[in-house]
Amino acid sequence: MQSVIRPALVLFGALTLVCGVAYPLLVTGVAQAAFPEQANGSLVKQDERVVGSRLIGQHFSAPQYFWGRPSATGPMPNNGGGSSGSNQGPLNPALHDAVKGRIQALRDADPGNRAPIPVDLVTASASGLDPEISLAGARWQAARVARARGLATGDVEQLIEAQAEGRVLGLFGEPRVNVLALNLALDAQTRDTR
């Protein structure tokens, strides 16, 4: 029996050192050396204080801010520790009811806006943590944000265009805007005009 136990323990110890210690240290070291900002969470700081991450959506509900995609995480929106989608398919009545409620909430927040609501403003992403919205989603909200801040809608639309990110490598995905970055730029612009 000892002829089997000893090699098994040696192999267990060796694999623990390689897979549990050496490999994580190597990967962490390479990430810190090559991509330090991303390896540390792509944190966004304002006045030397962390206000969020470029990678995780934040919940904004005040009318003077752009709102991100709905979040299916619990127990609160954009919970990084509870990343998940709703797993509701297109034929699920609960999804239909949730989308109807979100449409109504957007219409109630901006009753004069009769334009079609972009789909990303009423559907949650797979992770529930999407930090970005489409340019159409941002433009749809521009008039509400401008009114709440006492700004011209054109000025807010220019800010959206300035914060817009193109397709990844010019090929993948759609043009989009990071909601946190857009709201911080909006705060800075409002602060600068006072």
Q: What is the pLDDT of residues 133-183, one digit of tens each?
A: 999 999 999 999 999 999 999 999 999 999 999 998 888 989 999 999 999
Whether residues 18 and 69 share a domain: the answer is: no
Whether residues 12 and 74 share a domain: the answer is: no
Question: What whole-number distance in Å separates Cα of residue 94 and Cα of residue 183?
Answer: 31
Report the interhelical angle of 153-163 vs 179-193 (nearest 10°). Answer: 130
Question: What whole-number distance in Å separates Cα of residue 86 and Cα of residue 71?
Answer: 9
Whether residues 64 and 99 share a domain: the answer is: yes
CB 194 within 8 A of CB 150: no
Q: Positive or negative, the Cα torsion across 123, 126, 128, 132?
A: negative
Tens digit of each residue's pLDDT (9 = 90 or more) over 85-108: 777 888 989 889 999 999 999 999
User: Does residue 193 register a pLDDT over 70?
Assistant: no
- Please tell me whether the overall predicted TM-score, pTM, comes out greater than 0.85 for this model: no
Tens digit of each residue's pLDDT (9 = 90 or more) over 23-69: 999 999 999 999 999 888 888 888 889 888 898 888 899 999 999 99
Question: What whole-number distance in Å separates Cα of residue 128 and Cα of residue 105?
Answer: 19
Mean pLDDT rounded to a whole number for the chain = 90
Go through the chain and tell me how many residues it has: 194
Whether residues 35 and 54 share a domain: the answer is: no
Whether residues 121 and 58 share a domain: the answer is: yes
Number of domains in the chain: 2
Whether residues 30 and 73 share a domain: the answer is: no
Question: What whole-number distance in Å separates Cα of residue 31 and Cα of residue 37?
Answer: 9
End-to-end CA distance of the chain: 81
Give the torsion through C-alpha atoms of 183, 187, 192, 194, to 10 deg: 140
Whether residues 29 and 63 share a domain: the answer is: no
- Helix count (H) and strand count (E) of the chain? 7, 4
Whether residues 178 and 188 share a domain: the answer is: yes
Tell me the backbone φ, ψ of residue 176, rounded to 5 degrees. Answer: -155, 175
CA distances from 106 to 67, 82, 122, 152 (A): 10, 25, 9, 21
Whether residues 120 and 61 share a domain: the answer is: yes
User: Does residue 186 register a pLDDT over 90?
Assistant: yes
Whether residues 146 and 180 share a domain: the answer is: yes
Whether residues 118 and 156 share a domain: the answer is: yes
Whether residues 72 and 157 share a domain: the answer is: yes
Where in the sequence is the domain holding 133, given as residue range(s)?
Answer: 42-193
